[in-house]
Amino acid sequence: MEMFILSLTIFVLAIFVGVEVINKVPPTLHTPLMSGTNAISGIVVVGAILSSGGSEHTTLLSTILGVAAIALATINIVAGFMVTDRMLNMFKKK
């Protein structure tokens, strides 16, 4: 239970940090902000890696789910960062 309260504390504080930082992003960059945060939400790949690493408590089904999760999260990461970069370079040119 202590672990849970600690995690909850971190969660709430991180939301406040997020609100502070993101409020300063100008409307011009809102689309790249969304695709960039899409990429960042691919962080769930971390959980997927742990499920696909083949340690003794995984099952066939959990490994399959894990690999599928890695594939989806990697789509998010790669597509998110690349398309954000593509857009931001358009803004930068001038």
Partner 1 sequence: MEILINLGYLVAAVLFILGIKGMTTPKTAVRGNQLSATGMLIAVVAALLDHNVVSYEYIIIGVLIGGAIGAFMAKKVAMTDMPEMVAALNGIGGGASLLVAAANYLESQQLAEMGKFTPTYDWSVAVILSILIGAVTLTGSFVAVGKLKGRIGDAKNVKLFKWIVKLCLLTLLGGAGYFAAVDPLHADLLVGGLIILCLVLGVCLVMPIGGADMPVVVSLLNSYSGLAGAAAGFVLGNNGLIITGSLVGASGIILTSIMCKAMNRSLTNVLFGGSMAASAGVSKSENDAFYEGKVKFSSADELAMLLDGAQSVVFVPGYGLAVAQAQHATRELANMLESKGASVKYAIHPVAGRMPGHMNVLLAEAEVPYDQLVEMDAINPEFAQTDVAIVLGANDVVNPAAAKDPASPIFGMPILDVHNAKTVVVVKRGLSPGFAGIPNELFIRDNSLMVPGDAKKVLQDTIGALKDL
Restricting to residues 19-78, which ones interact with partner 1 according to CB under 8 A? 19, 21-59, 61-63, 65-78
DSSP track, 48-81 = HHHHHS--TT--HHHHHHHHHHHHHHHHHHHHHH
Nearest to 37 by CA among 1, 3, 83: 83
Instruction: Tell me the closest approach of the beta carbon of residue 20 to partner 1, in angstroms.
Output: 9
Q: How far is the CB of 8 from partner 1 (least distance, A)?
A: 8
CB of 62 to partner 1, least distance (A): 4
Radius of gyration of the chain (CA): 17
